[in-house]
Amino acid sequence: MPATYNYGADPNNNDEYQASLGAAQGLAPGTYYFASRFRYLSGPYTYGGFNSGPWNGTTNVSGVLTVNAIPAATMPLTEGFESGLGDWTIVNSGQTNQWFVGTATAKTGTQSAYVSNDGGVSNAYNILTTSVAHLYRDVTFPAGTNPFNLKFSWKGMGEGTTTLYDYLRVFVVPTTTVPVAGTQLAAGQVGTSYLLQANWQDVVLELDNATYAGQTWRLVFSWRNDNSVGEQPPIAVDDIVVEEQAPATRTLNLTSVLPEGLYAGGGLLNMSYNELAPEFPGFADEITVELHNSASYSTIEYTAVVMLSTTGTVTVTDIPAALNGDYYITVKHRNSIETTTADPVSFTDAVITQSFATPANVFGGNLLLMIDGGYAIYGGDVNQDGSVDGGDVTPFDNDQFNYVTGYVVTDINGDATIDSGDGTIIDNNQFNYISAILP
């Protein structure tokens, strides 16, 4: 690796040279041994030159260099190069036109990454010398169901219309792919080739969840130019962002939502009937699902009236993506006790799944153990005041006395008849002082 003369470091006869060695220069993590060599004009090489003379294998020996891996970035990755190169790796070795971070050009702030042929002083390139140089950073893509956005700003001219000669390409490759100066990458390109734009351009590329989620990938910006004509300046890149997309809407799936009155055993529900047929053919009943603020339960952030399947499942679609915090999920059924989740549930993903199967899932453990070992939501809250008490008994007694039938709130078991089958549920839960337990 060539070293550069550190001009002006010593005004006397002790010339000083310097070289950067490490992961940023493309060295893989590990332990390395290094020595220097120099010669005057065409004379023989002298090796070493440590404390008191050339390399001799005893007192003047090879230096030891330990290269540590650069940690992968986590999302969101935001890079404007205002603090320099940071944890990005430049692969320039032996190339005339190289990547630098500096102040020659920038879209925002004062710095960007750009190709230069004068050590980063200017954003210019030698059009008569072939170069391939790379700038890269490892990025960990979180597991989940959302796609990702790769955003960056670029400008640069280069060369090519039908056939391209001088340009930027962007790649997302496995971390086992190590870019090599002078060699173009053969696979993993995302987007197009970027050239022939003197003003800053903004790019947004979508990276699909199925390919990238739950893995670490290497994001590579690669400049290539041939050795013929070309137009200044070469490429510059700024304001790089890699982030997970917020879903347009969210979907909530609930399982084991089992009102006591409709419970058929084995985690299944009966359908609620009117005088002639099921009120909601193919479904057990209609319920209300609410999202409550995690810090203030009385604040309802979202409400949906949805169908409850006979298997105890509920799907709530089209929840606004703006609801991306943590919320208590509350289930309300027309004659059952209001029941909510044990803890606030995260809504950062596009699809959220929550069970009400066991007391551990429910605030205060407020579920009824059924004879088959399953758990159900307490029934009998006819007037929906949060308790099963005399206020529920009175309307039930009146409807039973008057032989009321059909799809009414006093029909706890959903058979369209107001009778002792409903009264037993109300009486048992009244006797046991059943009420809602809420945050």
The residue count for the chain: 439
Q: Which residues have a Cβ under 8 Å from the Cβ of 356 and sit 6 or more positions away?
A: 254, 255, 256, 257, 258, 312, 331, 339, 341, 362, 367, 375, 377
Mapped onto helix, strand or coil, the DSSP state of residue 424 is helix
| 23: pLDDT strictly greater than 70 | no
Residue 255 — very low, low, confident or very high, per pLDDT cuts 50/70/90? very high
pLDDT for the residue numbered 401: 95
Task: Tell me the pairing of strands 314-320 and 249-255.
Answer: antiparallel
Q: Is the pLDDT of residue 201 over 90?
A: yes
Strands 326-333 and 189-194: unpaired
**Whole-model pTM over 0.75:** no
The mean pLDDT of 188-216, rounded to a whole number, is 97
Residues 142-156, mean pLDDT to the nearest whole number: 94
Among 135, 125, 111, 120, smallest CA distance to 157 is for: 125
Mean pLDDT within 409-424? 96
Residue identified by tokens 């893509």 is 141
Cβ atoms 374, 358 nearer than 8 A: no
Task: Count other C-beta atoms under 10 Å from residue 160's C-beta.
Answer: 15
Cis-peptide into 281, omega within 30 deg: no
Given a cut of 90, is residue 207 above it in pLDDT?
yes
Query: Looking at residues 113-137, what average pLDDT do you find?
Result: 97
- The mean pLDDT of 61-87, rounded to a whole number, is 89
- Residue 52 — very low, low, confident or very high, per pLDDT cuts 50/70/90? low
Phi-psi region of 433 (alpha: psi -120 to 50; beta: other; left: phi over 0): left
Query: Quick one: tokens of 281?
Result: 């053919």
**pLDDT surpasses 60 at 8:** no
User: 152 pLDDT exceeds 70?
Assistant: yes
Q: Is 404 helix (H, G, I), strand (E, B) or coil?
A: coil
Closest CA to 287 of 355, 343, 337, 350: 337
Query: What percent of the chain has a predicted confidence (pLDDT) above 70?
Result: 93
* Domains along the sequence of the chain with CATH: 1-69 (no CATH), 73-244 (2.60.120.200), 249-431 (2.60.40.4130)
